[in-house]
Every structure is written in structure tokens, then in C-alpha cells.
Amino acid sequence: MKELVIISGKGGTGKTTITASFAALSENAVIADADVDASDLHLILHPSVRIDNQFFCGHEAEIRQVDCVGCGACLAHCRFEAVKMLGDNAGEAEFSIDASSCEGCGACVRLCPVKAIDFHERYCGEWYVSDTRFGPMVHAVLGAGAENSGKLVNIVRTNAKKVATETGRSLIITDGPPGIGCPVISSVTGADAVLAVAEPTLSGIHDLSRVIELARHFRIKMFVCVNKFDINPGLTEKIERLSEESGAFIAGRISYDREVTNAQNEGLSVIEHNKGVSVGEIKSIWGKISREF
């Protein structure tokens, strides 16, 4: 089993468009959406959820008012100012914990003299195993403001491998998060290859350099493609030179093509929409990666 992760230095470079097209072109793949902070592959693949799982990340403290004796120890020891004094009730102070400020360190739970603080698992989102017209898909939604997306990325990838094993599929195509932070590291660690999608802008070059460094650090085979290459052919050449000098393989170029947006508006992959110059270009990139992967 092999895994190809599609990444980019920043969001909005066409990463998900390419992932959806690869899903349409592949014949025996599991699709994983590891861009859990801003997942949108489902808008094209329209997954039908088969298994729905809750994702918990860490803990949060909650005072049981009925058992609290108002000693204030939790307020005194919380370093994150999550404990609030609500005021007096018949001469006794009342305390409560602001869940959004609680870091789940557990100090108050240990220090409460009457054990009046519960320590729940924190609900942070959901992850799913679904069916799509191109095969099984594992994807997730991280709750608003929830952290630990690296852990959720890991859950998505682990379960994509499990589904691939169960269904006898030999390839996992993963839509990775943008950037080079924790979620991206979590999405490329142990992958067989990455495809970095770059745009021919100055910031695109900067973003790509960071992604190249990341792939080199983890010794992962890297392909690069330039999306909307014709908006600046000079910078496209510069990106391709930089990539080759860094040991990456040039997978190809994709033109600026209004049909890509039309495909998205219709909820289709570019391959299914089958209009515009980008169809052949994406097929060529997929062919090259399939041969050299």
C-alpha cells in the first residue's frame, strides 16, 4: 500500500481540486481528507457517511456546584485564569470554570479538597468513514476553535490505511493541510510521496521553499506542480528550477482555466466536468506520478 499526500505552502492553491481529480482518475484508492481545519473535499466528492465517530482532545474541568464548598483553591491555582468567581450566594462565593479558557491541566481537579470538580473529555469534532462514487473516503471536521488537529489528521490517515487494508486497495490519496505546521507534519510523516502544488507568485516561491525543506527533512519523495502557471511563466520556470535543484520531480503545469471553477460550481471533479485545457494537464500529471511513484 502506498500513500500520496497533496500539500501546498498555503491554502487556495488548487490542492483539493487536484486531489478530487486524482480520486476520479485512480481505480483502486482510498481517499483521505486530512485538511481537517478547513475540509472541503466533501463539496466535490459528496460522501455518504457510513460510520460517524466523535473526536475528543484532552479534558476540561467543570465544578459541581452542589458539592463545592467555595474555598477558592481552584481560583488561586489556575494559571490560565479559567476559574471565575461569580459572586456571593448567601455570603458564600460561587465559582465556575470557563470551558473556552480551560487548558485541561487538571491542577484544580487534584487540589479541590472536596473533589467537586469533574474532568470530562473535551469534544473537538468528528471523523467519518464514507462511500463516494470513487471509492471509500475517510474525512473529519474539527470543531470551531478546537485544537489538536495534528491528532485528528493522524486518526484520519490511520483509518484510511485500515480501510485500504480491509477493502484490498493499494493506494491512499490524501488531501493534506496547507502550510508547514503540526497538521502538515502529521499528514506527511510516513507517506511515500508528496505532491506540492505551487502558484507562480513571489509568496508562492517562498511557501514552496518551506514545503521542500519539510519534505527533505522527512526524506519523502516529492513531486511539484505549478497551478495557473500561465499567469507568470517566468516565475513558473523559477519554481521548477528551485524544485529540481532541491531534488524534487517536476510533475507538470496546470493552466489558469475557468472550467475549474465551473466544475466546482457543479460539484464535480475537473475530470468528470471534462471541459477545458486543465483536464489533459491534470491527467498528464497523474500519469507521471503514477509511473514514477
Task: Mark the segment that binds ligand SF4 (CB under 6 A) among 3-11, 61-69, 223-231, 248-256.
Answer: 61-69
Task: Mark the segment that binds ligand SF4 (CB under 6 A) among 71-79, 148-156, 202-210, 221-229.
Answer: 71-79
Query: Is residue 25 close enough to count as binding ligand SF4 by CB under 6 A?
Result: no
Q: Given candidates 58, 106, 143, 267, which one binds ligand SF4 under the rule CB under 6 A?
A: 106
Q: Which three cell numbers stand for residue 163?
A: 480501510
In angstroms, the CA 260 to CA 17 distance is 8
Q: Are 175 and 157 in contact (CB under 8 A)?
A: no
Give 111 or 231: the residue with its C-beta nearer to ligand SF4: 111
CA dist list (Å): 73 to 103, 106, 112, 139, 210: 17, 13, 6, 42, 46
Query: Is residue 61 close enough to count as binding ligand SF4 by CB under 6 A?
Result: yes
Q: Which three cell numbers stand for residue 11?
A: 491554502
Concatenating the DSSP letter of every residue in 48-75 gives: EEEEEEEEEEEEEEEE-TTT-----HHH
In angstroms, the CA 117 to CA 97 distance is 10
Query: Is residue 118 close enough to count as binding ligand SF4 by CB under 6 A?
Result: no
Q: Given candidates 73, 129, 171, 197, which one binds ligand SF4 under the rule CB under 6 A?
A: 73
Query: Is residue 58 close enough to count as binding ligand SF4 by CB under 6 A?
Result: no
Give 146 or 184: the residue with its C-beta nearer to ligand SF4: 146
Centre a 10 Å sphere on the Cβ of residue 20 and count the other Cβ atoms it contains.
31
Query: Is residue 57 close enough to count as binding ligand SF4 by CB under 6 A?
Result: no
Sign of the Cα torsion 132, 178, 4, 284 reads positive
Going residue by residue from 76 to 105, which x/- string records binding to ligand SF4, judged by CB under 6 A? --x-x-xx-----------x-x----xxxx
Pure H helices in 70-226? 73-77, 107-111, 149-167, 182-188, 202-217
Task: Give the bridge partners for 123, in sequence order.
Answer: 56
Q: Given candidates 114, 202, 233, 292, which one binds ligand SF4 under the rule CB under 6 A?
A: 114
Q: Given candidates 2, 53, 72, 292, which one binds ligand SF4 under the rule CB under 6 A?
A: 72
Backbone φ/ψ region at 291: left (φ over 0), alpha (ψ -120 to 50), beta: alpha
* Neighbouring residues of 3: CB distance < 8 A, sequence distance ≥ 6: 157, 160, 161, 171, 172, 173, 174, 190, 191, 192, 193
* Neighbouring residues of 178: CB distance < 8 A, sequence distance ≥ 6: 7, 8, 9, 10, 11, 12, 13, 15, 35, 184
Beta carbon of residue 66, minimum distance to ligand SF4 (angstroms, whole number): 11
Beta carbon of residue 142, minimum distance to ligand SF4 (angstroms, whole number): 21
Give 36 or 57: the residue with its C-beta nearer to ligand SF4: 57
Beta carbon of residue 9, minimum distance to ligand SF4 (angstroms, whole number): 34
Beta carbon of residue 217, minimum distance to ligand SF4 (angstroms, whole number): 33
Q: Given candidates 41, 63, 156, 222, which one binds ligand SF4 under the rule CB under 6 A?
A: 63
Question: By the criterion CB under 6 A, which residues form the site for ligand SF4?
Answer: 61, 63, 68-74, 78, 80, 82-83, 95, 97, 102-108, 112, 114, 116-117
